[in-house]
Amino acid sequence: AQKVTQAQTEISVVEKEDVTLDCVYETRDTTYYLFWYKQPPSGELVFLIRRNSFDEQNEISGRYSWNFQKSTSSFNFTITASQVVDSAVYFCALSVPGTYKYIFGTGTRLKVLA
């Protein structure tokens, strides 16, 4: 069975702090995709990144970085120098290519305080 676990329900940080959101997944498939989405208070789900299971390179995009480790089945997301605008619920998701079915984690609510 496939499963995505986001153990952190809610995190609060002060602006400019770094914060890491954890994502642990389970799957028996050798080929899969991992995703992160951001859901601000407006409700829209914003795509952040997709990672192929064959590509374990870490990725950096501005203040965002992602650490994918197959050995620990984790796909963690770090925000450097957090800002108030980063306050949102962040979802990690897993899918198997061609199925279009996403397994979502329960989300982590990030509050960045000014």
Partner 1 sequence: SAVISQKPSRDICQRGTSLTIQCQVDSQVTMMFWYRQQPGQSLTLIATANQGSEATYESGFVIDKFPISRPNLTFSTLTVSNMSPEDSSIYLCSVVGQGRGTDTQYFGPGTRLTVL
Start-end of H helices in 5-91: none
Which of 103, 104, 88 is CA-nearest to residue 19? 88
62: left (phi over 0), alpha (psi -120 to 50) or beta: left
Q: Which of 37, 66, 68, 75 binds partner 1 (CB under 8 A)?
A: 37
Q: Does 33 bind partner 1 (CB under 8 A)?
A: yes
- Residue 91 to residues 23, 114, Cα–Cα distance (Å): 9, 23
Query: Which residues from 72-101 bind partner 1, rule CB under 8 A?
Result: 91, 95, 97-98, 100-101
Q: Does 106 bind partner 1 (CB under 8 A)?
A: yes
Q: Which of 5, 15, 104, 111 binds partner 1 (CB under 8 A)?
A: 104
Instruction: State the residues that interact with partner 1 by CB under 8 A.
Output: 33, 35, 37, 42-47, 50, 91, 95, 97-98, 100-102, 104-107
